[in-house]
Structure 1
Amino acid sequence: MSITHNDFIARPGVVNKQGHLPDPAELVCVEIPKVFDQCLIKRCLVYGCGKDTIDTDEELRSDPLDDPKIFTCCRNFKLKLISVEKFPLKKNPSYKKIIVCFIISFYADYIDCNGETRCEFYEINRTEVISKLYCPDSIAQISTTSVSTGKSSDFDSEIIKLELVAECLDGNICKNNDDESVLDITLGFHLIVKCELLVQLLIPAYGYCPVPCECEEDIEEDACCRFDREPVPKFFPDQKLKPLFDDECEDDE
């Protein structure tokens, strides 16, 4: 049984009771990028001298380092889209071959022989080819005007978007051909290539979002008051014992 609007506060949240929402207040037309097609590219890259391949990259080796001892971690991953090329397929021009060029940058931290933490900056230039992706051309031509500048500009309604999740799987300190210490990184990443089109969608709505609650303040509390509220700790660790009997008892024959 659905609830009435008087019992419902419109706000973002998890719909944990299917069929209990009241009827929407209105149907609204919104203009948003809609994903028409997407695919996932998964790569595990190691250092390899020469031309980049599916599983090697020459830029995963650092410049010569001074007395590195141990690799620790990578951080501050960033993704930058450099260029996009789209080639319509002969059998169906709505499907296209996509060539994307992008840069993955990050910092790799290591500890030197003096115990100090140092970092090395990496920029990985990659090119990926998607042989078939549904990217229909927009029929409408879009032009926008900025209120602040008063200038009109054309807008590309077909959008290629990249989303990245990357991590350093390993770091190996070794010697190059000149007997200099370098750091070779093993990089793993998941890359989603999306084809989006700016469209108008008709969606149900409950009106504007309500004013959010006030931000929580971090109130300083007396350490003894906080200690008094904490539960008493266990004085001994749990014992790791096996059950004396099996879970299922066998019937006596």
Structure 2
Amino acid sequence: MDGCGGRFNFGENNDNGIRSGPCDPYEGCPPPTEIVCIKVDKVYEECKLVQVNTVDTDLSGLVEGCITDVQCIRAELVVDEDHPRECVILPCQRVRASFFYRFKFKWTDDLGEHVFTSDPIKVEKIGRMNRAGETGLDLQCEIFVDCIDCFLINKTTVRCCIGKLVVFKLFAHVQLLIPAYGFCPEPPNCRVTPPEDCPGPAEWLETIVWPPFYPEQDR
């Protein structure tokens, strides 16, 4: 024995039998057991800007023979000292998001498979919101980019379709009274999975749904 026989407990346990998940479509949710005060970010106004554009890449100095296959890998945000991300409220009820992204694709020629990574590309989006600039409201910018498809438009030029989604949210950190069911119950133990069971990058990418707002839920 190592002397650690005591069982670790959560500070608060919910033993009322209520568990998280969808409510019964006929009987509805059980009645709340209390009204609690929580601190949350409340969204007062939001809007989105969506764009899909094409970027052409000339591989004429790199190709050996003929390009036989092109596949998009991904697009990703680039954030560092040289490529800052900006989310600001402008005068006249306007909001602006600026960011950098890069994309990757793989292509195959007579020498085999290669990967191309673009230089960072800057994007700036401006929208209008009725409550922008109102005292007490801050701005949050949620940005998603995705490489939708890449294909040949001639013997050495690859065209990639890049999707960009910017969601502007005007919010304030507030206290709200909400009906509740007590503290969450202690979760079940995780299943132990050997490292070799992890999916490869290609399999993992196939599971991504764009835009990634919220995980799917059974209803």
CA contact (8 A) 1:107 1:122 kept: no
- The alignment status of 1:187 with 2:162, answered yes or no, reads yes
Structure 1: state its 5+ residue gaps. 1-6, 48-59, 90-95, 140-156, 176-180, 220-253
Aligned residues of 2:147 and 2:160 also touching (Cα < 8 A)? no
SS of equivalent residue, structure 2 residue 88 = strand
Larger Rg: 1
One-letter code aligned to 1:67: V
Residues 36-90 of structure 1: CA distance to partner in whole angstroms, max 9, x if unpaired? Answer: 212121212123xxxxxxxxxxxx536765216232112253365712332343x
Aligned residues: 174
CA 1:19–1:159: 2 relative to 1, 3 Å: farther
- The answer to whether 1:15 aligns with 2:11 is no
Please, which of 84, 88, 99 is the counterpart of residue 85 of structure 1? 88
Structure 2 matches for 1:28-39, cutoff 5 A? 28-39=36-47
- 1:105 corresponding residue in structure 2: 102
Aligned-pair RMSD on alpha carbons?
3.2
Asked if 1:124 corresponds to 2:121, the answer is: yes
CA distance in 1: counterparts of 2:44 and 2:58, whole angstroms: 39
- Shift in CA distance, 8/106, structure 1 to aligned 2, threshold 3 Å: farther
Superimposed CA distance per residue, residues 106-145 of structure 1 (whole angstroms, 9 cap, x where no aligned partner): 3222223222242324422101110334336344xxxxxx
Pair 1:41 & 2:58 matched: no
CA shift, 1:172, in A, is 3.1
CA contact (8 A) 2:50 2:165 kept: yes
Q: Residue 98 of structure 2 contacts residue 122 of structure 2 at CA under 8 Å; is this kept in 1?
A: yes
Distance 1:208 1:127 in 2: 43
Q: Partner of 1:116: helix, strand, or coil?
A: strand
Alignment-derived partner of residue 161 in structure 1: 141
Higher relative contact order, structure no. (Cα contacts within 8 Å, ≥ 6 residues apart) = 2
Q: Which residue of 1 aligns with 2:9?
A: none
The offset of 1:104, in angstroms, is: 2.4
Distance in 2 (alpha carbons) for counterparts of 1:127 and 1:159: 16
Q: Which residue in the other structure is 2:179 paired with?
A: 204
Question: Normalising by the residue count of structure 2, what TM-score does the alignment of the two structures yield?
Answer: 0.64
8 Å CA contact 2:39, 2:175 repeated in 1: yes
Distance 1:15 1:190 in 2: 32
TM-score, structure 1 length as denominator? Answer: 0.57
Q: Partner residue of 2:188?
A: 213
